[in-house]
Amino acid sequence: MAGVSEVNKKVLDRLMATYNDSHDHSGVSGERLAARLAQLAAIGLTEEGGSQRIGFSPEERAAKELVKQWMNEAGLEVREDGAGNVIGRFTAQQDHLPVVMSGSHVDSVPNGGHFDGTLGVLAALEVAQAWKETGYRPDAPYEVVIFSDEEGARFNGGLTGSRAMMGEVNLEKQQQLKDINGDSFQSVIERDGLTVEQFMAAKRDPAEIAAFVEVHIEQGKTLEDAGIPVGIVNGIAGPCWLEVTFRGQAGHAGNTPMNQRFDALAAASQFILQVESLPKRISSTAVGTVGKIQVHPGGINVIPGEVKVYVDLRDIKRETRDQLIDAVQKEAHHIAQQRRLQVELSETLRVEPVPIYENMQQTVRTAVEALGIPPLFLPSGAGHDAMVLGRHVPVAMLFVQSKEGISHNPNEWSELNDCVQAVHVLKHLLEQLVTEEHC
């Protein structure tokens, strides 16, 4: 394919090696999708073979500019808002109707993979390209969107572009942000050709948007284990973060008898096992994780006197998520009382889960079944741009099978056959959503 250099030909060759070209129909081209994935993979390519395109970086900008070229080839009207979100519009027979949107992001975590975000953008673009080639014109307008700085690697936040579009940015807090190099938010976006005033003007009226659909790699193994290429997301989990501090008494590891110890780490260990076991008692979609602990004093021959445990609790429904939070907190108090320790709990984050409306799930199911794919519903444990838009407008998400569930890693991979089948499902779904009756 033209435009594919040697540095990214390896990605293209691997994508095409097992591709079944029977998936090429209705204007959709697997080779075109593969070539574009490969070309974006070359931007910010790391020595380990991963992607390095953090938000508002020259690499993210280069990726956006390349996709703009492809948007023009697909006949889209291309613009960029004040937050750096790139929007390609496919005009409609009734262009005054609310718009149906699809897309994702092209920024990455440091040394990330080549499919996270990028596939969602290119799948949305491939639908527009297919419509152009087949002469299809929707009743309602369609927009392909690239959101800025979704991953948050730059400012330890994320979802920046989608939050700006939905008016969820607090200007005072945003201007206080410093990036990984200590540079201010204002100076970073100005280097990208943006201004603070333009950034805040990126807000759109949600009434202008009929629906948003995001295609994303699963970042898990459910679809791979089931042998299914594409899944239907039934909700986006809202995280709650707890800081739990157990306080006991530090002592000498050799001179303190076992029955006279007030070991904060032993209490924390018992608590961590409860965090692992409690979710499944409350909800099949709830999860709990302890990803970080701090032990004080931290000597190999000292009984730990204080331990901080950082807990991440998630579910797609607020009621069960909050039940899990309560259960975890009660367990912390119970363990502390049992072991005659003190415990303090502090909540540092609580984000509302985003439900995906039943009618949207069923519309996705119809599209999946139309392609002969068994419908499999699964939750999204991670946040996505769809989570932000879903607080304001109807959303849907399609997950694409991830090999071994690997993500945010150079080994992240999705087979081209699965990616193209996701494009066909997206195309069928969008053709339902852009009808006048739906909008």
C-alpha 327/C-alpha 204 separation (Å) is 39
Q: CATH: 3.30.70.20, 3.10.129.10, 3.10.450.50, 3.40.630.10. Which one for 6-236+353-433?
A: 3.40.630.10
> In 3D, which of 139, 53, 49 has the Cα closest to residue 91?
139
pLDDT digits (tens, 9 = 90+) for 91-131: 999 999 999 999 999 999 999 999 999 999 999 999 999 99
DSSP of 246-292: EE-B-EETTTS-GGG-B-HHHHHHHHHHHHHHSHHHH-TT-EEEEEE
Cis peptide before 297 (omega within 30 of 0): yes
- Tokens 């009434």 found at: 207
Question: Could you tell me the CA-to-CA distances from 116 to 45, 177, 297 in Å, in that order?
Answer: 14, 25, 40
Give the CA dihedral 20, 26, 30, 36, nearest 10 degrees.
Answer: 180
State the pLDDT at residue 1. 43
Sign of CA dihedral 132, 133, 137, 138: negative
Cβ neighbors of 364 (< 8 A, separation 6 or more) are: 232, 396, 398, 425, 429
State the pLDDT at residue 32. 97
Domain with CATH 3.30.70.360 in the chain: 238-350
Q: Does domain 238-350 have CATH number 3.30.70.360?
A: yes
pLDDT < 50 positions in the chain: 1-3
Q: Which alpha helices (DSSP H) does 90-247 contain, by range?
A: 118-134, 160-165, 171-175, 185-191, 196-200, 222-226
C-alpha 121/C-alpha 147 separation (Å) is 9
State the pLDDT at residue 2. 41
C-alpha 285/C-alpha 438 separation (Å) is 30
State the pLDDT at residue 349. 84
DSSP of 220-250: SSHHHHHT-SEEEEEEE-EEEEEEEEEE-B-
Cβ neighbors of 150 (< 8 A, separation 6 or more) are: 55, 104, 105, 107, 117, 158, 159, 160, 161, 162, 384, 385
State the pLDDT at residue 7. 56
C-alpha 93/C-alpha 135 separation (Å) is 12
C-alpha 119/C-alpha 106 separation (Å) is 9
**Cβ neighbours of 104 (radius 10 Å):** 26
Backbone angles phi, psi at 9, to 5 degrees: -65, -30
Burial of residue 372 (CB within 10 Å: 0-12, 13-18, 19+) is: exposed
Cβ neighbors of 319 (< 8 A, separation 6 or more) are: none
Give the CA dihedral 162, 168, 172, 176, nearest 10 degrees.
Answer: -40
Domain with CATH 3.40.630.10 in the chain: 6-236+353-433
C-alpha 251/C-alpha 262 separation (Å) is 9
Exposure string of 184-201, with b = 16+ CB inside 10 Å and e = fewer, is ebeebbeebebeeebbee
State the pLDDT at residue 5. 60
State the pLDDT at residue 6. 64
State the pLDDT at residue 355. 87
Backbone angles phi, psi at 319, to 5 degrees: -60, -50
Question: Could you tell me the CA-to-CA distances from 98 to 92, 101, 243, 430 in Å, in that order?
Answer: 11, 10, 43, 13
